[in-house]
Amino acid sequence: MSVLDYIPKGYENKATTAHLMRVMNCDMRTLRMYIREERRIGAVICSTRQDGGGYWKPNNKQELIRTAATLRSEGLDMLETARCLEYEAGIIEGQETLGFEHG
């Protein structure tokens, strides 16, 4: 069965991450891969990391907007973290020292 078969409609009915890992017999990383693959081929799946995390098919436009805003924010946070790491590694132009404090 596909992970989509276990994802209900509406936030109030969301399938928790723990439940989906149990029924799909997988770990969190694999579950996220399944979700990502479904989204890439067109499945509309909302998600949250709050309250134990979970996934659902949207009931309305607000659920779509809220999930999009959350994913965008998390993505921007990840990009900023990557930029900081690259800066420390000297990958970003203009960086001359690593800036690590030893003591």
* Residue 101 forms part of a structural domain: no
- pLDDT (tens digit, 9 = 90+) per residue, 58-103? 999 999 999 999 999 999 999 999 999 988 888 876 545 555 555 4
| Domain presence at residue 94 | no
- The answer to whether position 70 is within a domain reads yes
Give tens-digit pLDDT for 14-54.
999 999 999 999 999 999 999 999 999 999 999 998 888 89
CA distance between the termini of the chain: 55
Q: Does 13 reside within a domain? A: yes
* Structural domains counted in the chain: 1
CATH code of 40's domain:
1.10.10
